[in-house]
């Protein structure tokens, strides 16, 4: 049986592995961990069976709650941040091995695909023919997974990226649109128009999307609703739950339960 990898990430070049797809299991220890910015020829599915992962790509912030996966096309720069005690699987796919999206997206992970990934990462049988068959089924199933909307659009526009990075570092920052506009040397109305133009969302909705991403990630890693609401700067737990339910249709506990039961079919619109 292969031993699960642990952070710090070992010196492993997945592009040197001659296979249409490979699966790797990674156990994160008591502290959150980060894989710095990198790229590889193979596309990558980031799948969390426990805890949460956030993927940073040039165009946005993608959150991987349990039972969902984020697809990152080959040759795209990205970095991954995992919560403490996360159980993560990376699936690396050769560019021509399957008809997969040419852009980042969040995918639901069906129970069948989940078990295929776990089996391929385990290698208990050490059976090449069996691994080939499982890989073939995985590459048939993966393109069939539904695409979900679970990300924060981030523009390459330097002023918006500065704001996004600051909010990602300190989600509790409640600075107003006018205060942010002053920091990036724009008028309030100009910044408002810029955010809509670059992200398709109002500033308030954009920041709320970030809060939802952070909330789901932290709740999935075991944080309490009270702790998350405080970390996001809400004055009360009730205010946080109201925001969460209004945005996603369910309070936090029921939403996370639906992700587990439905294989990741819940989403942030």
Same domain for 111 and 161? no
Is the pTM higher than 0.85?
Answer: no
Whether residue 267 lies inside any domain: the answer is no
Q: Are residues 186 and 103 in the same domain?
A: no
**Residues 14 and 127 placed together within one structural domain of the fold:** yes
User: Is 160 found in the same domain as 130?
Assistant: no
Name every residue whose Cβ is closer than 8 Å to that of residue 128 and which is 6 or more positions away in sequence: none
Q: Report pLDDT for 125.
A: 58
Handedness of CA 260, 36, 17, 21 (dihedral sign): positive
pLDDT at 66: 61
Q: What is residue 7's predicted lDDT score, i.e. its pLDDT?
A: 44
- Residue numbers in the chain where pLDDT is lower than 50: 1-8, 264-269
Assigned domain for 268 exists: no
Closest alpha carbon to 85 in 26, 22, 167: 26
pLDDT of residue 128: 84
Angle at 197 between CA 77 and CA 81, to 5 degrees: 30
Residue 23 structural domain: 5-148
Same domain (yes/no): 80, 179: no
Residue 65: the pLDDT is 65
Question: Which residues make Cβ contacts (< 8 Å) with residue 195, sequence separation at least 6?
Answer: 160, 201, 202, 203, 206
pLDDT score, position 8: 45
Last residue of a domain, one of 126, 148, 170: 148
Q: CATH code at 178?
A: 1.10.10.60
pLDDT at 51: 75
Q: How many domains does the chain divide into?
A: 2
Per-residue confidence (pLDDT) for residue 2, from 0 to 100: 42
**What is the per-residue DSSP string for 182-242?**
HHTT--HHHHHHHHHHHHSS-HHHHHHHHHHHHHHHHHHTT--HHHHHHHTT-S-HHHHHH
pLDDT value, residue 14: 85
Residues 117, 218, single domain; the answer is: no
Residues 134, 78 share a domain: yes
């Amino acid at each position: 049986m292969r031993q699960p990898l642990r952070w710090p990430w070992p010196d492993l070049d997945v592009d040197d592995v001659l296979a249409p797809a490979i699966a790797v299991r990674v156990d994160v220890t008591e502290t959150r961990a980060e894989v710095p910015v990198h790229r590889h020829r193979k596309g990558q599915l980031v799948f969390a069976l426990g805890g949460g992962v956030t993927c940073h790509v040039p165009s946005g912030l993608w959150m991987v709650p349990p039972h969902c996966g984020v697809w990152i096309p080959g040759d795209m720069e990205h970095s991954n941040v995992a919560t403490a005690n996360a159980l993560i699987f990376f699936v690396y796919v050769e560019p021509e091995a399957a008809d997969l999206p040419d852009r980042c997206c969040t995918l639901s992970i069906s129970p069948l695909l989940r078990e295929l990934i776990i089996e391929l990462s385990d290698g208990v049988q050490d059976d090449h023919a069996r691994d080939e068959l499982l890989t073939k089924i995985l590459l048939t199933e993966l393109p069939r997974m539904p695409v979900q909307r679970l990300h924060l659009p981030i523009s390459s526009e330097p002023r918006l990226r500065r704001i996004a990075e600051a909010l990602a570092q300190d989600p509790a920052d409640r600075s107003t649109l006018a205060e942010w506009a002053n920091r990036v040397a724009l008028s309030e109305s100009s910044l408002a128009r810029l955010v809509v133009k670059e992200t398709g969302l109002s500033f308030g909705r954009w920041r709320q999307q970030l809060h939802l991403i952070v909330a789901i990630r932290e709740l999935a890693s075991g944080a309490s609703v009270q702790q998350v609401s405080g970390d996001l700067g809400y004055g009360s737990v009730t205010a946080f739950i109201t925001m969460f339910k209004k945005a996603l249709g369910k309070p936090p506990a029921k939403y996370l339960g639906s992700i587990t039961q439905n294989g990741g079919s819940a989403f942030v619109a």
